Chains A and B, each alone.
Chain A
């Protein structure tokens, strides 16, 4: 009997029953929504975390020798709260579908972490409001105080990531639950993937934020060409360096997985695994795109290609996350919903798809209005400030 089977049996009695109401949509559809919504969340979440590492560098370098970077840092801080807002908003959807498919495992991990899980709310509030304080400091170029605030913001958001990482690992490992519940184990999930998973998230956040810098710099108006060039170059170079490190941390992450999980990542019969493999290739492709883009910062095509491939890589990596999750949970009897649990609510599901299409169209329309609007038309009339 393998060690995993023994461990799985040890934790199996604690696995709560799957929800008696079953799944309100087809398995394939829900399994598609989990990585898609997580990828959308990751687009913003990476900015929310990564800005805490990029802003101080841009600010510091900008003060000493590259004023364009100080300006870029200010603009990033202005956009930061919006990224946090959308991180939370998109995170709601990701958590929603995780709860549908894995709620019984997810809630158990929540409760085991308990107050630390709830503390995420406090970390978010602190980080969020401190960004507004930072906005005032960076406008006045108060570097020392600004660095202090950035450290606090970084700490707050890293703690959020820490608890999510903890929860994500713990929900996959019922054999640890009793020990954690009884206080015999630390309230971390003691698994080899914990550290590389955390590092992979942090470094990925810096890489994606670098891409965000380049994308935003292409859209900032009014904005001098020289400044735009510098911002794009630094953004993509940051992404390049972080992606090189990401290859290393990704390898570490992969090696930390159990052998059967590693094998499942290369199962060509699973479209999620295929998507993940393509994303890995896409990650290497990004190294080229970032390098070319930073060498030719005036050419918008490299930025667009970098952003597009980055989005694809995020989707693929999210799909890989699902492969790991499904493989690990398959060890525990009753942990996963099956097709026998499906009780489709076709009308409501269709209503959601229609609402989503309308919602995205409305958001796109508003963004189009913003994009095509003049830089400033003072429609409010004479300033009263």
Chain B
């Protein structure tokens, strides 16, 4: 509302964020898991004198340098860039409440990067014991980075007493209670398990790509890695623990309230359990071999499972960005703000979309389109992905208008429409004109204006 709109044609802003974020989460989880994998396996290899494993870890560390340190880092920045473009107010909220957490996470990231490069470049320079110590520094820094980020991400769904503490002037207390919120621990467990599993899967890919290993050596390395996939069975109890901590309305969305979300949730969990069972039976017990093709298939499954679970996590937060405080359309669920917008109008506070000098002479359809841009366009396109036009196809104008007055009650994952009655009328008119069934075949300037706006 207070910022210019960033338009992402056809797919909308949330999809842009999702593409970048899921890619990043997948790589970042791998980076954390690989750190733990390298530290544990190198320590084990030193104690049991297993040069083959150390040789592989050397090769594997190159993948860490080439994938997480480049694509992971850039997509991490990409999340910042994309959320600031699509949802600047929410981004600002997270920055101003948790800047010290972000800063601590940055320190962890700095140590992680430094340790990663030292680890990679010091195989033939540091003593084995010291090299393993660097591996542990990398592992701890990477996991601590996850630890902090996990707090901020989970805060968005379960902020705990954050708002009350802030209102009481206890800003430090609000920070801590927001960070270590009710879903912090179950989410940390879910993510840690995911990290270990991804590290194991990537081992299967890398060992098949590096030509130096014999089939027997590959089998040995894969067998070692397969142990890191087994904890995936914890995904089910951890997910139940997580969902037990979220608000009932959010839980309801995952358990049938929203079909897409329920399906994604079941799919994500099923993938995880299948991977765990396969790893335990075929790789741990039978010491089986995994070809490159199968490894890539496992990686693809893991990517889709990661994406599914992230989609569910984002989805059940609706209609909020920060539960209880900020709606997904960046209007705050605060009595003072809502009262002001309902009395003075939303457009009066949206200088970018509805400039003051153009408001007075704008017709009702233009004002309706502006209302859409301010309140709906954060999540909806017009007729692309999650387009509003197909959603209201065939609706009479009165039904649209009724929905605008009761949207949050009729659809639990939608925020209420805010604004004066006149603004809601204008929005209803504009939405109604999107409906081809009711489109009047007149040559009025208004009709052509709408078509122009649709394009």
* Nearest Cβ on chain A to B452's Cβ, whole angstroms: 15
B95 at interface by CB-CB < 8 Å: yes
Q: Would B4 and A108 count as touching, CB distance under 8 A?
A: yes
Interface 9-mer from A267-275, A277-285, A315-323, A347-355: A347-355
Q: Would B109 and A178 count as touching, CB distance under 8 A?
A: no
Q: Would A369 and B134 count as touching, CB distance under 8 A?
A: yes
Instruction: Please indicate the chain A residues that have their CB under 8 angstroms from the CB of B54 in the complex.
Output: 380-381
Q: Would B107 and A356 count as touching, CB distance under 8 A?
A: yes
Interface 9-mer from B25-33, B84-92, B284-292: B84-92
Between B96, B104, B111, B176, the greatest number of chain A beta carbons within 10 A of the residue's beta carbon is seen for: B96
Interface 9-mer from B64-72, B253-261, B265-273: B64-72
Among B2, B66, B93, point to the contact of A21 (Cβ < 8 A): B93
Instruction: Please indicate the chain B residues that have their CB under 8 angstroms from the CB of A379 in the complex.
Output: 123-128, 131
Instruction: Please indicate the chain B residues that have their CB under 8 angstroms from the CB of A346 in the complex.
Output: 172
Instruction: Please indicate the chain B residues that have their CB under 8 angstroms from the CB of A20 in the complex.
Output: 332
Bound-state CA distance A147–B117 (Å) is: 27
A118 at interface by CB-CB < 8 Å: yes
Q: Would A92 and B109 count as touching, CB distance under 8 A?
A: yes
The A contact surface, by secondary structure, is: helix
Q: Would A89 and B118 count as touching, CB distance under 8 A?
A: no
Q: Which single residue of chain A is at the shortest CB-CB distance from B140?
A: A362
Bound-state CA distance A114–B125 (Å) is: 46
The residues in B between 74 and 121 inclusive whose CB is less than 8 angstroms from any CB of A are 74-78, 80-82, 84-85, 88, 91-93, 95-97, 99-104, 106-111, 113-115, 117-118, 121
B3 at interface by CB-CB < 8 Å: yes
The residues in B between 151 and 185 inclusive whose CB is less than 8 angstroms from any CB of A are 166, 169, 171-172, 174-176
Among A14, A89, A355, point to the contact of B113 (Cβ < 8 A): A89
Interface 9-mer from B226-234, B309-317, B351-359, B380-388: B351-359
Instruction: Please indicate the chain A residues that have their CB under 8 angstroms from the CB of B74 in the complex.
Output: 88, 121, 124-125, 128
Q: Would B356 and A13 count as touching, CB distance under 8 A?
A: yes
Among A128, A343, A345, point to the contact of B100 (Cβ < 8 A): A345
A62 at interface by CB-CB < 8 Å: no
Bound-state CA distance A334–B141 (Å) is: 39
Instruction: Please indicate the chain B residues that have their CB under 8 angstroms from the CB of A86 in the complex.
Output: 113
A96 at interface by CB-CB < 8 Å: yes
B137 at interface by CB-CB < 8 Å: yes
Q: Would A359 and B110 count as touching, CB distance under 8 A?
A: yes
* Nearest Cβ on chain A to B73's Cβ, whole angstroms: 5
Q: Would B106 and A24 count as touching, CB distance under 8 A?
A: no
B130 at interface by CB-CB < 8 Å: yes
Q: Which single residue of chain B is at the shortest CB-CB distance from A376?
A: B124
Instruction: Please indicate the chain B residues that have their CB under 8 angstroms from the CB of A124 in the complex.
Output: 74, 77
Q: Which single residue of chain A is at the shortest CB-CB distance from B5?
A: A111
Instruction: Please indicate the chain B residues that have their CB under 8 angstroms from the CB of A181 in the complex.
Output: 4, 352
Contact A366 to B176, CB < 8 A, known contacts A117-B81, A380-B51: no
Q: Would B77 and A96 count as touching, CB distance under 8 A?
A: no
Instruction: Please indicate the chain A residues that have their CB under 8 angstroms from the CB of B81 in the complex.
Output: 110, 117-118, 120-121
Contact A24 to B99, CB < 8 A, known contacts A92-B109, A369-B134, A379-B127: yes
A183 at interface by CB-CB < 8 Å: no
* Nearest Cβ on chain B to A15's Cβ, whole angstroms: 9
Instruction: Please indicate the chain A residues that have their CB under 8 angstroms from the CB of B80 in the complex.
Output: 92, 95
Q: Which single residue of chain B is at the shortest CB-CB distance from A106?
A: B84
Interface 9-mer from A68-76, A97-105, A187-195, A204-212: A97-105
Contact A370 to B103, CB < 8 A, known contacts A88-B74, A110-B85, A379-B127: no
Instruction: Please indicate the chain B residues that have their CB under 8 angstroms from the CB of A21 in the complex.
Output: 93, 96-97, 166
Contact A359 to B3, CB < 8 A, known contacts A24-B100, A107-B91, A125-B74: no
Q: Would B73 and A89 count as touching, CB distance under 8 A?
A: yes
Between A22, A117, A380, the greatest number of chain B beta carbons within 10 A of the residue's beta carbon is seen for: A380
Bound-state CA distance A93–B77 (Å) is: 11
Instruction: Please indicate the chain A residues that have their CB under 8 angstroms from the CB of B75 in the complex.
Output: 121
Among B51, B76, B100, point to the contact of A381 (Cβ < 8 A): B51
B55 at interface by CB-CB < 8 Å: yes
* Nearest Cβ on chain B to A83's Cβ, whole angstroms: 11
Among B4, B65, B108, B174, point to the contact of A359 (Cβ < 8 A): B108
A19 at interface by CB-CB < 8 Å: yes
Q: Would A178 and B212 count as touching, CB distance under 8 A?
A: no
B364 at interface by CB-CB < 8 Å: no
B395 at interface by CB-CB < 8 Å: no
Q: Which single residue of chain A is at the shortest CB-CB distance from B172?
A: A347
* Nearest Cβ on chain A to B361's Cβ, whole angstroms: 16
* Nearest Cβ on chain A to B190's Cβ, whole angstroms: 25
B402 at interface by CB-CB < 8 Å: no
Bound-state CA distance A384–B70 (Å) is: 27
* Nearest Cβ on chain B to A320's Cβ, whole angstroms: 24
Interface string of A62-94 (1 = CB under 8 A from B): 000000000000000000011001101111110
Contact A366 to B137, CB < 8 A, known contacts A14-B352, A92-B77, A379-B123: yes
Bound-state CA distance A355–B106 (Å) is: 10
Q: Would A359 and B107 count as touching, CB distance under 8 A?
A: yes
Instruction: Please indicate the chain A residues that have their CB under 8 angstroms from the CB of B103 in the complex.
Output: 93, 96, 352, 355-356
A179 at interface by CB-CB < 8 Å: no
* Nearest Cβ on chain A to B284's Cβ, whole angstroms: 26
Among A24, A89, A114, A121, point to the contact of B96 (Cβ < 8 A): A24
Interface string of B211-243 (1 = CB under 8 A from A): 010000000000000000000000000000000
Instruction: Please indicate the chain A residues that have their CB under 8 angstroms from the CB of B82 in the complex.
Output: 118
Bound-state CA distance A59–B95 (Å) is: 44
Bound-state CA distance A343–B117 (Å) is: 38
* Nearest Cβ on chain A to B1's Cβ, whole angstroms: 9
Bound-state CA distance A86–B113 (Å) is: 8
Interface string of A155-189 (1 = CB under 8 A from B): 00000000000000000000001100100000000
Instruction: Please indicate the chain A residues that have their CB under 8 angstroms from the CB of B127 in the complex.
Output: 377, 379
A60 at interface by CB-CB < 8 Å: no
Q: Would A85 and B73 count as touching, CB distance under 8 A?
A: yes
* Nearest Cβ on chain B to A296's Cβ, whole angstroms: 30
Instruction: Please indicate the chain B residues that have their CB under 8 angstroms from the CB of A100 in the complex.
Output: 95-96, 99
A144 at interface by CB-CB < 8 Å: no
Q: Would B96 and A23 count as touching, CB distance under 8 A?
A: yes
Among A14, A91, A349, A366, point to the contact of B118 (Cβ < 8 A): A366
18 inter-chain pairs at a CB distance below 8 angstroms, sorted by A residue, are: A25-B100, A81-B65, A88-B73, A89-B110, A100-B95, A111-B85, A125-B70, A346-B172, A348-B101, A351-B100, A355-B108, A359-B107, A359-B108, A362-B111, A363-B110, A366-B114, A379-B125, A379-B131
Contacts A24-B96, A352-B103, A380-B55 aside, 8 further interface pairs with beta carbons under 8 A come to A92-B106, A108-B88, A125-B71, A345-B172, A362-B115, A370-B118, A373-B122, A380-B123
Q: Which residues of B contact A (CB under 8 A)?
A: 2-6, 20, 51, 54-55, 58, 65-66, 69-71, 73-78, 80-82, 84-85, 88, 91-93, 95-97, 99-104, 106-111, 113-115, 117-118, 121-128, 130-131, 134, 137, 141, 166, 169, 171-172, 174-176, 212, 332, 351-352, 355-356
